[in-house]
Amino acid sequence: MTTSIETIRDDFSLLDEWEDRYRYVIELGEALPPFPEAERTAVNKVPGCVSQVWLTTEQGPGIDPVISFHGDSDAHIVRGLVAIMLALFSGRPASEIRNTDAEVTLKELGLDEHLSPQRANGLRSMVKRIKRDAEAALKQTA
């Protein structure tokens, strides 16, 4: 993932129409690196999403390990939402992930107003999984 959450925020601020933002979210998803077919397992599947979403977690060393996430979805817009969540959380220390409020970012981007209840619930499930993995990493090193 090469697009930072700051870049995404800046780009969103330049797009006035929701249709342009929607296309941009899809483009973010298209830019995700390929997700290995072997990782599309029940263990990596995020429950609570209408579309299929897979998420893998890689944990670095240390008491507050840096965690990297990789993800994918079978739906274009959801794949873009995965890309936004990866930009927000991936490559950060577990304690920072735990303390990051994804709802604030979604409001800043205006996504909270434009997602269907099912997509919003799926996004919350993805955030819950990311935070759970960060908590687990912190407990392992304690």
Catalytic residue among 32, 49, 82, 126: 49
- Looking at residue 110, its pLDDT comes to 85
43's tokens: 């263990």
Classify the phi-psi angles of 101: left when phi > 0, otherwise alpha if psi is within -120 to 50, otherwise beta: beta
Give the global pTM: 0.93
CA distance 122 to 40: 17
Taking a C-beta distance cutoff of 8 angstroms, is the pair 141, 63 a contact?
yes
Query: How many distinct structural domains can be found in the chain?
Result: 1
Q: Is 94 a catalytic residue?
A: no
CATH number at residue 137: 3.90.1010.10
Structural domain harbouring 100 = 5-141
CA 128-131-133 angle, to 5 degrees, is: 110
Render each residue's pLDDT in the chain as its tens digit; 142 residues: 578 999 999 999 999 898 999 999 999 999 999 999 999 999 999 998 778 999 999 999 999 999 999 999 999 999 999 999 999 999 999 999 999 999 999 888 888 788 888 888 888 999 999 999 999 999 886 5
